[in-house]
Structure 1
Amino acid sequence: MVKKHHDIAISFAGVCQATRLVQQLAHHGKCSTWALKISLNSLLDLNPVSTLSVFGNKTSNVQCGLETLIGLFNSRIYQNLTNEITHYIMGIMMLERQLQASKTALQNLSGSIINLSKQLDDDVIDSTKVISVIAEMYTNIIRPLGPCIKVSGSKTILENIYIQNQVRAILLAGVRSAVLWKQVGGNRLQLFFFRHRLVKVAKDILESLNKDNI
């Protein structure tokens, strides 16, 4: 059970990390390049050997997500921005359910990701070209499955096409983490009735990271 709770926390941190990056982009026009690469790379591992392998086999790669997870359930941390995070998470989870219900969408997404992997011999995951390709996957395959996720932030920033593509690409990464979360035993009831356990596991993981860095 300990391993299960750990995997649930890591995978949900992947969802939270994606939402935090979307929030940063929408308000500031930039986000952590390192965290962005981790989230986008998570799309490529369609048959992971473990939960952590999706995120490069390093717990530190989802530190932003773990901190966001804790902040989400202790709303003081992000103050008025917590509602945005919650909105994005709920939207991602709804799209994940619709994706799982559509064999056509699953096949199309899998095929698109395999094709993307072949392109990466020449391009890096966070290049403008690749981000545009990932954004198209979200627009063409994921977004038609359910209600559009409304992103809040600076109107001027969100009018920028490159920012729009980054946001869409990261939302797709969020859906991928939501799929993983379900696969390892995550469910919405845990977020309402067992959130304290989830927060404790996330804090324990961060504490272990801090000890490793001493």
Structure 2
Amino acid sequence: MNSEERQAVALAGVFQAATVVDELARTGHTNERAWSTLIRATLDTDPASFEDIYGGQVNNLRPGIEALESVLTRQQVSPNVMRYGFSLILLMHRLRKNTEMMNTLGQRLGRIQGQAEHFGELHENVIASLGELYQETLSTFRYRIVVQGDPSLLQSRQMPERVRAILLSGVRFALLWHQQGGRRWKLVAGRSGIRRALKSLDE
């Protein structure tokens, strides 16, 4: 996998997080494979390879790939998904400038990994801890992501934590995208390159 393909995969992860947040907020449900891929990627802070981050199967990021393709080709895409996706990238840039918060995230994720080893990666206690971590770090920035959806769902048991955990995963993939050479200008000037990379993933 070349650098352009890795950038495309990471960006698909960002838009998969945006898609899952939108689905949870509107319906209370989402694709289980998409959900678990994002959570596991967030917990795996030291993967053996790039491919291990998303479980080695490109189809684990299929909803994100399809959403990103729609954004790049300006096809019909949920305005919320587009807004969440670009907001996650903006939030990532704010985070990169805050060394103290980056260190806090790393330390706290290390503790949550221990929790995941005890309870299981998708256990509600782990999701609650990830959601709490997002709330106490990234959501303290002046720029915040406002999630829109069904108010009764957004206020229901465990839903706030689930949404925040996925927002955290979106920032994780945005950081990965930047580490692989992804830049905001490429989202405008380099759309065709990203689309080529996405297409090559299916070959």
TM-score bracket for the superposition, by shorter chain length: over 0.9
> 1:26 Cα shift?
0.9
The equivalent of 2:67 in structure 1 is 68
Amino acid across the alignment from 1:22 = V
Match of 1:117 in 2: 113
Contact 1:94 1:146 in 2 (8 A): no
Q: CA deviation at 1:20?
A: 0.5
* Letter aligned with residue 86 of structure 1: M
Matched AA of 1:20 = T
Structure 1, unpaired ranges of 5+: 209-214
Larger mean Cα displacement after TM superposition, 164-173 or 96-105: 96-105
- Tell me the equivalent position of 2:15: 16
- Conserved 8 A contact 1:51-1:180: no
Q: Which runs of 4+ in 1 moved over 4 A?
A: none
CA contact (8 A) 1:99 1:106 kept: yes
Quote the offset at 1:146 in angstroms: 3.7
Q: Distance in 2 between matches of 1:72 and 1:93?
A: 14
**How far apart, CA to CA, are the structure 2 residues paired with 1:100 and 1:115?**
21
2:48 & 2:85 partners in 1: Cα distance?
A: 25
Q: Residue 71 of structure 1: CA displacement? A: 1.5
Change (3 A) 1:177 1:146: farther
Matched with 1:212 is: none
Partner of 1:42: helix, strand, or coil? helix
Instruction: Find out whether 1:84 has 2:83 as its counterpart.
Output: no
- 2:147 pairs with 1:148: no
Contact 1:11-1:51 within 8 A present in 2 as well: no
* Higher mean C-alpha displacement, 127-136 vs 43-52: 43-52
- Indicate which of 100, 104, 112 corresponds to 2:100: 104
Once the two structures are TM-superposed, the CA of residue 60 in structure 1 deviates from its matched residue by 1.8
Alignment-mate amino acid for residue 165 of structure 1: E
Note the aligned Cα RMSD (angstroms). 1.5
Note the C-alpha offset of 1:87: 1.1
**Distance (Å, rounded) in 1 between the aligned partners of 2:48 and 2:142:** 30
Q: CA deviation at 1:145?
A: 2.5
Identity %: 26
Q: Answer whether contact 1:72 1:85 (CA < 8 A) is retained.
A: no
Matching residue of 1:174: 170
Q: Does the residue aligned with 1:122 lie in a helix, a strand or coil?
A: helix
Question: For residues 90 and 30 of structure 2, what CA distance do their matches in structure 1 show?
Answer: 25
Q: Structure 2 unaligned runs (5+)?
A: none
Measure how far apart 1:5 and its partner are: 0.7
Helix, strand or coil at the partner of 1:148: coil
Counterpart residue identity of residue 149, structure 2: G
Match of 2:132 among 123, 136, 145: 136
Asked whether the equivalents of residues 19 and 89 of structure 1 are also in contact (C-alpha less than 8 Å), the reply is yes
Which residue is 1:211 aligned to?
none
Cα distance, 1:108 vs structure 2? 0.8
Q: Could you give the per-residue CA deviations for residues 122-164 of structure 1, whole angstroms, max 9, x where no partner exists?
A: 2122222111100000000111134110111112211214111
Which residue identity lines up with residue 36 of structure 1 in the other structure? Answer: W
User: 1:62 and 1:115 mapped to 2: Cα distance?
Assistant: 26
What is the rounded CA distance, in whole Å, between the counterparts of 1:74 and 1:174 in structure 2?
Answer: 21
Q: How many pairs were matched up?
A: 203
TM-score by length of 2: 0.94
What amino acid is aligned across from residue 61 of structure 2 in structure 1? V
